[in-house]
Amino acid sequence: MNSHIPIEDLFEDIIAKSMRGRHISEADLARTTGVAPDVLSRLCRGEFCDEPALLKVARALSLDPEALTMSASCVWRPRPVNIEGLAIFNTPYRDMRVNSFLIWDPVSKEGAAFDTGTDSSPLSDFAKANNVQVNSIFITHTHNDHIADLNRLIDATGASKVYSNVEEPWPGTETFAEGATFNIGSLSVSTYTTSGHSVGGTTYFIEGLEHPIAVVGDAMFAGSMGGGMVSFADAWKNNREKILVLPDDTIICPGHGPMSTIGEEKRNNPFFASEFK
């Protein structure tokens, strides 16, 4: 279910996000690290040309050196995820791909969609084929790639409720504040505002299946994090204090890239691995 989706961020994307978020220019980084400008430029372009230089860059950007080296070496990806009651749908958007998720109670067959992607028909077709009744739709954040097919998903599934965070409301939805809880059949849903990438980005924590699930939107990716478009500092802090404190076996369902787990991200995510050593 998860193995065909490529990692969202390459090591140069991680470097770029940390530089932008920490307001460090390439010239600043060259001065701080002593890395030759031409070597640094090659690293920033995605050429893994000098491991000692990469380690210096990692430390200067508060990234875990070992995890960043693993990213640059392309030796890690999260283990495949396959549990009953969870399905991922990966649809194209411009030069990238975006995820939506269907989560359901295997006993009652009551389900909920999380975001829509750019084409919701695979999700609605899957629900119909597996007799899952989609009663609700939960929005992680309102960037277009995540809600592009909302109206069609509502029409196809007959979902009676659509929810968005009060900090980032969407017309026609019911809003909630952090801490609100919901149910999907016998499954429980807790809500956390994990802003930073967007104003009201939300993480939905679902319990009741074989493993707990965190639908995180663009707060975190496998081996990386969202761009901190509103506030890098808030994005990092919320990821650290609200997502990575969840149980290690929690499945992370991100807005882009493959699914992962809390335990794997604590060990392998360059933005956070140093925090857990």
Residues 62 and 112 in one domain: no
pTM: 0.97
42, 73, 104: which is the final residue of a domain?
73
SS3 assignment, position 275? helix
Number of domains into which the chain is organized:
2
Same domain assignment for residues 128 and 199: yes
**Domain C-terminal end among 73, 104, 127:** 73
- Taking Cα atoms as reference points, which of 93, 33, 108, 102 lies closest to residue 63? 33
Query: If residue 90 lies in a helix (H) or strand (E), which one and from where to where?
Result: strand 86-93
What is the residue range of 59's domain?
11-73
Distance (Å, whole) CA 249 – CA 266: 11
- What pLDDT tens digit does each residue of the chain (277 aa) get? 566 899 999 999 999 999 999 999 999 999 999 999 999 999 999 999 999 999 999 999 999 999 999 999 999 999 999 999 999 999 998 888 999 999 999 999 999 999 999 999 999 999 999 999 999 999 999 999 999 999 999 999 999 999 999 999 999 999 999 999 999 999 999 999 999 999 999 999 999 999 999 999 999 999 999 988 999 999 999 999 999 999 999 999 999 999 999 999 999 999 999 999 8
Q: Tell me, what CATH number does 202's domain have? A: 3.60.15.10
Q: How many CB atoms lie within 10 A of CB 275?
A: 12
Q: How many CB atoms lie within 10 A of CB 128?
A: 13
- The CA dihedral of 111, 145, 169, 103, to the nearest 10 degrees, is 10
Single-letter amino acid, residue 188:
S
Max Cα-Cα span within the chain: 61
